[in-house]
Amino acid sequence: MSGFSADWLALREPYDLRARSAVVRDAVVAAFAGHPSVTIVDLACGTGATLRALAPHLPARQHWRLADNDLGLLARASGTERPVGVRVTAIPLDLNRDLEAALDGPVDLVTASALLDLVSADWMERLAVESAVRSIPIYAALSHDGRIEFDPADPADADMVAAVNAHQRGDKGFGPALGPAAADAAIRRFESLGCAVIKGTSDWVFRPGDRDIQFELCSGWAGAVRETGNVPLADIVGWLTRRRDAIQAGDSSIKVGHVDVFARPTGTR
């Protein structure tokens, strides 16, 4: 168990899919156009959302090596429906300890989604250096960048958002997380290593009808803020009550900022 439930991943997947930057995805697809086959390592695959998002756009023959330390999620990912010609190998492993092992062997592309904001600066450095040394392009989607906007606005929003983003910087299993700074840090580091970087926003946009995910998110944020101790409990409860009332009334929209990145070592592929 990783703390990321299959139900939560299923709830967010359609919004993730809609949010992914088409510019970044198209750059990934263009990089492999005309290739007879492609081998992909998907880091922290969860139930296989990146495979489902990307496989229809890549060459017909694909081998996906799916890496995660949650065996339940990995089993679901291995069983995911996939187009003919798409082969899957599950790799149960702790990416904090064994990132380098996950990248061993022939790899054309590394993918990740909703991962970079969980990792530490040290781990990001390992990923950037390993992929540069091995000349492997990386497509890292859906890193939260700290932007959260509510409509209607609430007087407690600013304190809540600040505390959510503080919580994002806590240890998520890789050391102190980069959280909202992750995408910028990745872009800077990939560029400094000589990669060509394509980036684009991939914001979640939840409309008034998207009640279930808004309820889940606001409840999750309230719990996270409580863990920080940065906002008085009564203020958290008041905020959550007002938010839930607005969501229930069909009067709530939320936008959550994300960034997608495609980093490609230049002159090598």
Ligand X SMILES: C[S@@+](CC[C@H](N)C(=O)[O-])C[C@H]1O[C@@H](n2cnc3c(N)ncnc32)[C@H](O)[C@@H]1O
Q: How far is the CB of 1 from ligand X (least distance, A)?
A: 8
Contact window for ligand X (CB under 6 A) among 41-49, 57-65, 222-230, 256-264:
41-49
Q: Which is nearer to ligand X, 15 or 159 (CB)?
A: 15
Chosen residue from 19, 31, 38, 45 binding ligand X by CB under 6 A: 45
| Interaction pattern, residues 123-162, with ligand X; x per rule: CB under 6 A | ----------------------------------------
| Interaction pattern, residues 49-68, with ligand X; x per rule: CB under 6 A | xx-----------------x
Q: How far apart are CA 215 and CA 77, in angstroms?
A: 26
Q: How far is the CB of 54 from ligand X (least distance, A)?
A: 11
Query: How many C-beta neighbours within 10 Å does residue 192 have?
Result: 10
Q: Which is nearer to ligand X, 75 or 185 (CB)?
A: 75
Please give the residue ranges that form the binding site for ligand X (CB under 6 A).
2, 4, 9, 44-46, 49-50, 68-70, 73, 94-96, 113-115, 173
